[in-house]
Copies of this chain bind each other. A is one copy, B any other.
Amino acid sequence: MADPILDFWFDFASTYSYLAAARIRPLAAAAKVQVRFRPFLLGPIFKAQGWDTSPFNLYEAKGRYMWRDMQRLAAELSLPFRRPDPFPQNSLLPARVALFGLGQGWGEDFSVAVYHAQFVEDGRIDEPRTLAEILSRLDVDADAALEAAQSDDIKSRLRSEVEAAQQLGVFGAPSFTTGDGELFWGNDRLERALIWAQRGA
């Protein structure tokens, strides 16, 4: 029987998605669950509820807490972490590149590397140069990939992904959804999402 599937919804600007992206592949392998990386954009979803930036910027106490919580959680996982500036960064371009790359076999490694660039190396993930460097390191033709990522096909597929996320009830990132319609929100629900996927198999 095929491994059960868990969809992993992430936005490249999302801090807690960095932790989930770092953790999900080994955990899923151990759980014998097949993870599908599904980059999307929180921006349109936030906009629909009246927010024009990250809630961590809109609500000061919540933002202050989040940065401290991220520090503690990253330390617990022995993951390097530094607060990016600016925050949040526009995640449109890396999301398009990732979507293209997922069809080419390098999308997952690219996604993990984008998080690393932003939350460890203080890189600007909205700059093509940053993404080109990552692509080169993955032995991908950077110019061709960046061009393909801006094609109408990829643009329209990313819009469809945002709509699909919304229809599944996704309102934040990271989120995890299962084939039987369960939604789990937050890096701290990853283990439960994997268990749910296993049971549904």
Looking at chain A, what size class is its interface with the partner chain? 20 to 34
Does any Cβ of B come within 8 Å of A200's Cβ? no
Nearest-CB residue, chain B, relative to A48: B61
* Bound-complex Cα distance A171 to B68 (A): 14
Selected contact of A65 from candidates B62, B72, B169, CB within 8 Å: B169
Query: Given A72-B192, A188-B188, A192-B72, does the pair A183, B65 have CB atoms closer than 8 Å?
Result: yes
Rounded to whole Å, the gap between the CB of A196 and the closest CB of chain B is 8
Known: A61-B166, A69-B184, A188-B188. 13 other contacts (CB 8 A): A49-B61, A59-B171, A61-B169, A61-B170, A62-B171, A64-B169, A65-B169, A65-B183, A65-B185, A68-B182, A69-B185, A69-B189, A76-B192
Residues of A within 8 A of B (CB): 49, 59, 61-62, 64-65, 68-69, 72, 76, 166, 169-172, 182-185, 188-189, 192
Q: What 9 A-B pairs have minimum CB-CB distances, sorted nearest first?
A: A61-B171, A188-B188, A62-B171, A61-B169, A49-B59, A65-B185, A65-B183, A64-B169, A65-B169
